[in-house]
Structure 1
């Protein structure tokens, strides 16, 4: 009867384990990362009695954890993408909201500024209207600075959050390594694993994966090895590795992420982080924050350089040549901290041509012979020639003046427009120095007998070159016999462009210039047009403007910049800003769509996983009844065995 008793006892113990396991499932149903467990029973070896094998009962062979590696990896991939898109959308929405605000955006300030220019043109002799123009310029500069400041706040927020996430990653890696060590010590038998510790480790890996996309590979003794990016290990067995926050070698304000090994820090490429919150942050900085900052800076730099160039072609109320209206925009030059200590390389870069400046950064490298500038946006290379320089070299609207002696391998990052918006400021403080008038004036003597007329004329940048500015009246005389004009400055070629355009013809200095009704005549940066039919000996005088108080010709040219394709040579200031707003808006919408799609992917992956691993309370309630009945039945077996044993004892009395 002892056999019957032990059979009942084994069933009782098995049912008890089943009840405990089911109860464990129920109480942990809402614990994140918990996988359903079940007590797997097997029969114990039978006893050979000569007439056959009689069963000896049951035993619990394993507490099985319902886990599927394929389903788990699907969840990890989906959650990594979801975290990246969510973080990206959260960050870029802030830029989108800022740019979309019609009251604090750039467009109203640009409109007010050019309205101020037009109002000053309406009454160029009024100091009050000129002062209003200066005030609108100050307001525009403040708007640029305010928007740049907001972007800098987002950059500071990026740095703070990235630092926090890196610390969390290191914490999770350390805790996973500790659990690996504990699990390995308890995993002598592969069928008897510490399921709850496995769940805790998987949950930590899931949390780590939400910060940065991970790759998980099995290791020895039930341990898991975790790596990120292109294979950088974060956990190998029971050893954790660390990420650290550092700075870019060419920009101390730009946060970078390094990998710490043997007390050394190796900077990781930003492309390493392609998922998780950290990947979303890196993608936000590269495709949204940096782009928005550079595009805003491009507009500011284009405005300052173009407005200055035109302003310098005018004269102010006192007849003095116009200077800079805005202060020059200087490019940010970041010398690589790894450059040789013997290097004396010095790079000065000032934006001079607003139509050519781009929104890209540049790398300058010295290979021992050549100093090469590489545009980051497309890899275009330009060699500084000659080097050492004999004068500044203009590249993409930026004037480079390079001195010193570089060492082989020297590197610098040039960021022409990175701080253009924040540094935009008005150079003029005296409203009378606004150069609204043109530097030349044209006239015709009253003694002319023909019907020829000369227009007011205009000047371009060549007029500012040494020797080109007029210091005295220049009379042009018409010869009806030869149908030519004479009297042009000695040593200057003359270019004649037919009316309505066409192919221009250049006449060398001293060569008679044929007269064509309405043709554009250009020399020394001056352009005039003579129409009608002049008589022999008629003169047309071009001279310096000695009374520009009521002249607004240069002011009209300044106002006309509003409608010219200045930004990148393809967009106006306002359309360039609209393109920037549209770019950020599209990126925001794309990220929102991707985020919504990733939410659906996570939901589907989790549903598939929970169908296998999740706790179904109805099912567990049924299991409770089943194990309760088994427990009661096994108890009945033991009771029966006891009664039979008592009968046997009574027979012996």
Structure 2
């Protein structure tokens, strides 16, 4: 080959080097751009008889500097970072809401019990009673306001889930289109580096929305999977995701595949992990649901226990107390996939504050029986018998199931989910606040002994039909027999002494024991001391209880009583635990986010060490290729001079 051709090949190679270097410099700050380099080789030598002489050079390829292992490491760090960031942004809202010293629940709950205590201290005061109603309304309003804020957060999560799914579909379509284009352009062996960079950047952006797994396909295409292996892109085909209300809970948006015919197939939440979408779903299913249920548990427990005690009191009109707060009904949602012919209906009413949990429940019909599954730990309780003769109480909730079910019917029961929203005050008239006790006791001055009778109390049995006292009961002590007589006919009598309880049939004289607790028909009292023969004691209805506040004191005492969680926590203690749990989760997410940020920085540095553009290095390459270009041009100039000399020899 002539010297001119050799110079020309060097000139062209240097020109490609200059172009590639210039391209690196101008794209140094473009996200996703990978550094490119010229791979230059010599052309085959030519045998001249005196030996092999080189024929020049050529550019075999323009190489893209890219390490798939480092890229996958970076994607893993970024998807974890996006997930934690999304989780933290949401949970910090709940943390701020619950822990606010002025807008939180603790101050208004303290005000409520202060109002109860003030009313109990002045039971005849209309102003104190009205103040108690006002603080009750404020408490209910605070519960409702906090529930509304949590629902706003939930709706915001649903909106972001829908938005994220739309972005995922957009990225998936673009990746599928690039797969098709890259496959067509790669048939000759050369790779379109810029398109490869663009596709990788799309995958990086997609990975921040949901965790992706990338598998190399045929002819330089990529298969992209999400979560735990669900396909998003296969070759030039993009799968379409969609959202719809969850079949068992319309308050949540579920994610699934949308077929070409429009059919929606939901995916389990557990398969969608990582990225912004994974963080949102994890937040919704753990922190948000937990906060809503636990806040509702406090509301439902407060309403149920306060109602139970209020019903054992007597109002200013002499009537037994009614419900102070309206009863709390469980949130029940029949599964959208239940058989159309099913007429089954499930209702749940909170009746026991101590046994109530913050868990959700799944009620399923297996064709013969209904089974109630506690979702927090999987414990199953069967509704027995079915059909029911009366509601069955499970974990403090009375289940009432009616209608004709079909096999595989399913109902989601959330006993405390809507309790904070539904907490309302039933009593509107201050005179109907039951601060007095419905019974009173007494002993005549004429008694000869030293015995005293305690103030009577009542329990839930007093509310049973026929048990409420309508007239005084007079008990007479027989010293010779050592017994008390005169108890109501038809009612057994219990005597509890030293922790041992003995039941005496109706009409049987009851042995007297100093200080023992005596009970009948839901009424309890004790007689202490030494009664004289013929001494009498009366137990009867409270006919002048305007100034009585015995039940008011018991209502106020609920504040410090361990009512919740099987008698282990007060209302304010349980709420403090909710605040603590949410605060700990928020702090964990923040720490995890900071660690994820550091991991992304480290992974980015490792990835950029291979794919990133170093401007100092490119400046040196620019100078190197410039000199090579000038040298090749000099070779061509010499070849031209030699050619001209040869031509002049022939003139």
TM-score range, shorter chain: over 0.9
* 1:253 equivalent in structure 2: 251
Q: Which of residues 570, 573, 590 in structure 2 aligns to 1:572?
A: 570
Q: Distance in 2 between matches of 1:600 and 1:164?
A: 28
Q: Distance in 1 between matches of 2:242 and 2:486?
A: 74
* 2:95 equivalent in structure 1: 96
* 1:594 equivalent in structure 2: 592
| 8 A Cα contact 2:228 2:273, kept in partner | no
TM-score normalised by structure 2 residue count = 0.98
Written as runs of structure 1 = structure 2, the 5 A alignment for 1:101-120 is 101-120=100-119
* 2:350 equivalent in structure 1: 351
Q: Distance in 1 between matches of 2:562 and 2:346?
A: 30
* 2:541 equivalent in structure 1: 544
What are the superposed Cα offsets for residues 394-423 of structure 1, whole Å, 9 maximum, x if unpaired? Answer: 111111221111011111111111111011
* 2:317 equivalent in structure 1: 318
What are the superposed Cα offsets for residues 179-203 of structure 1, whole Å, 9 maximum, x if unpaired? Answer: 111100100144x200000000000
Q: Secondary structure at the match of 2:500?
A: coil
* 1:340 equivalent in structure 2: 339
Alpha-carbon distance, 1:487 to partner? 2.3
Q: Distance in 2 between matches of 1:627 and 1:40?
A: 13
98-107 or 78-87, which deviates more:
98-107
* 2:515 equivalent in structure 1: 518
Alpha-carbon distance, 1:132 to partner? 0.6
Q: Which of residues 199, 205, 208 in structure 2 aligns to 1:207?
A: 205
* 1:232 equivalent in structure 2: 230
* 2:127 equivalent in structure 1: 128
Written as runs of structure 1 = structure 2, the 5 A alignment for 1:137-152 is 137-152=136-151
* 1:441 equivalent in structure 2: 440
Written as runs of structure 1 = structure 2, the 5 A alignment for 1:157-556 is 157-190=156-189, 192-263=190-261, 264-498=263-497, 502-556=499-553
532-541 or 79-88, which deviates more:
532-541
Instruction: Give the paired residue count.
Output: 649
Q: Distance in 1 between matches of 2:500 and 2:192?
A: 88
Q: Distance in 2 between matches of 1:489 and 1:250?
A: 53
* 2:38 equivalent in structure 1: 39
* 2:53 equivalent in structure 1: 54
176-185 or 505-514, which deviates more:
505-514
Q: Distance in 2 between matches of 1:474 and 1:244?
A: 72
Q: Distance in 1 between matches of 2:44 and 2:446?
A: 134
Q: Distance in 1 between matches of 2:31 and 2:134?
A: 60
Alpha-carbon distance, 1:65 to partner? 0.5
What are the superposed Cα offsets for residues 222-244 of structure 1, whole Å, 9 maximum, x if unpaired? Answer: 00010112321110101111110
Q: Secondary structure at the match of 2:208?
A: helix
* 1:557 equivalent in structure 2: 554
| 8 A Cα contact 2:472 2:540, kept in partner | yes
Unaligned runs of 5+ in 1: none
Q: Distance in 1 between matches of 2:475 and 2:376?
A: 50
Q: Secondary structure at the match of 1:504?
A: strand
Q: Which of residues 632, 635, 641 in structure 2 aligns to 1:634?
A: 632
Alpha-carbon distance, 1:592 to partner? 0.2
Q: Distance in 1 between matches of 2:223 and 2:489?
A: 83
Unaligned runs of 5+ in 2: none
Q: Which of residues 574, 581, 592 in structure 2 aligns to 1:583?
A: 581
What are the superposed Cα offsets for residues 446-494 of structure 1, whole Å, 9 maximum, x if unpaired? Answer: 2211000011111111111122211111122222223222222333333
Alpha-carbon distance, 1:262 to partner? 4.0
* 2:80 equivalent in structure 1: 81
Alpha-carbon distance, 1:254 to partner? 1.8
| 8 A Cα contact 2:457 2:523, kept in partner | yes
* 1:621 equivalent in structure 2: 619
Q: Secondary structure at the match of 2:213?
A: strand
Q: Distance in 2 between matches of 1:62 and 1:623?
A: 17
What are the superposed Cα offsets for residues 25-56 of structure 1, whole Å, 9 maximum, x if unpaired? Answer: 00000000111000000111111122221111
1:71 is the counterpart of 2:70:
yes
Indicate the RMSD between aligned Cα atoms, in angstroms: 1.2
TM-score normalised by structure 1 residue count = 0.98
| 8 A Cα contact 2:354 2:564, kept in partner | yes
Q: Secondary structure at the match of 2:90?
A: helix
Q: Distance in 2 between matches of 1:51 and 1:516?
A: 134
Q: Distance in 1 between matches of 2:406 and 2:562?
A: 41
Q: Secondary structure at the match of 1:407?
A: coil
Alpha-carbon distance, 1:609 to partner? 0.5
